[in-house]
Amino acid sequence: MAAPLPLFPLLTAALAAATATALALSALRHWWAERAGRPYELPVNRTGTAVRASAAALAAAAAAAVLYPYAGWGARPAHKTAAHTPVRAPLRAPAPAPAPRPAPTPEPPARPRTIAHPAHGTLQQLADGTHIWLPEQYGYASAADLDFPLVVAYAPKAQVNDLLTAFAAHADRGLADPFVVVLPSPDRCGTPTPTKLLDGYRIAPARTARALLGLGDEAAPCAVTEALTHPGRYEAVAAASATYDRPPPPHDRARTQLLLATPAGDEARAASALHLRDALRAAGPGEVRILDGIDPPRRLLALIAGYFTEKLDGPAHPNHP
């Protein structure tokens, strides 16, 4: 319901309106009187009419001015303004969690680099500095689908050429199988060769096709220790030209078959090998073979190749599931 206007403004506006009406009527009468005197040639004076009309207009304007501030009095607002109606901000869904970064793709190992062709084979260097020798038979077309037995050899650099030449010559005579020979740095003796480095080669994966060889006073005792500490790594181990001062480590019945070899004329090393053999035999069952009095040294290495041929599986077709 609309609220009534205040009394004072209403009375003031009414008085102004009445005054405006009276002045307007007075102006009209004065105008008719002036008009009536024309036929008699009376003088015309419009000043009175103009004054009365102007006063009537001023009175009407005053009435309008009084009522103007109350033009919307008592009317109800059609709707609430935005100031009275708080607007909620639209709810936003939580931002999705950032996608995890993909794991970096490991770079493939560097390709082996061929560095020489000793003993008619191929000598390559792997990414970690390890060398690997592939016998001549490895490249035969008739052997393209064969896996070869593996010999891991720790040898001084001065003996590497004699070792490879002896292995190749014994295989050429049909007295030994052709072996793939891995030549790690001698200071890595006791550390297994990473299998990923050998994935690109045709190497038999079974323990029964793997052997370990140590040459010299540092590598040979290390090879014996590894054979007794980790019997599951190699089927056979040969140690040559060394003195064995340390007692053998504890071992079990599954220990690797062992060959202790000494060249001719080296009585002290031959006696040390015999002492180690006796200690190992007293500790439990297992084969420990002695090979001594052999000359020249290259022939001793060839006989070691023959020993590995006796103990290991030869080149064979891989067994696919």
Q: Which of the pair, 268 or 81, is modelled with greater confidence?
A: 268
C-alpha–C-alpha distance, residues 314 and 321, integer Å: 20
For the chain, the average pLDDT equals 81
pTM over 0.85: no
Q: How confident is the model at residue 255 (pLDDT cuts 50, 70, 90)?
A: low
Q: Which of the pair, 193 or 20, is modelled with greater confidence?
A: 193
Per-residue pLDDT at 95 exceeds 60: yes
Residue 261 has what pLDDT? 97
Residue with tokens 């001698």: 186
Per-residue pLDDT at 5 exceeds 90: no
If you average pLDDT over each of 74-78, 187-191, 219-223, 309-313, which comes out highest?
A: 309-313
Per-residue pLDDT at 72 exceeds 60: no
Which is it for the CA torsion 78, 80, 83, 88, positive or negative? Answer: negative
C-alpha–C-alpha distance, residues 274 and 278, integer Å: 6
Specify the amino acid at residue 207: R
Specify the amino acid at residue 262: T
Q: ∠ CA 260-131-229 to the nearest 5 degrees?
A: 40
Q: Are 223 and 212 in contact (CB under 8 A)?
A: yes
Residue 321 has what pLDDT? 44
C-alpha–C-alpha distance, residues 17 and 8, integer Å: 14
Please report, for residues 2, 3, 4, 84, 292, the alpha-carbon distance to residue 74 in angstroms, rounded to integers and kept in the order given. Answer: 4, 4, 7, 19, 128
Q: How confident is the model at residue 113 (pLDDT cuts 50, 70, 90)?
A: very high
Q: How confident is the model at residue 228 (pLDDT cuts 50, 70, 90)?
A: confident
How many residues are present in the chain?
Answer: 321
Q: Which of 59-68, 134-143, 201-210 has the lowest mean pLDDT?
A: 59-68
Per-residue pLDDT at 30 exceeds 70: no
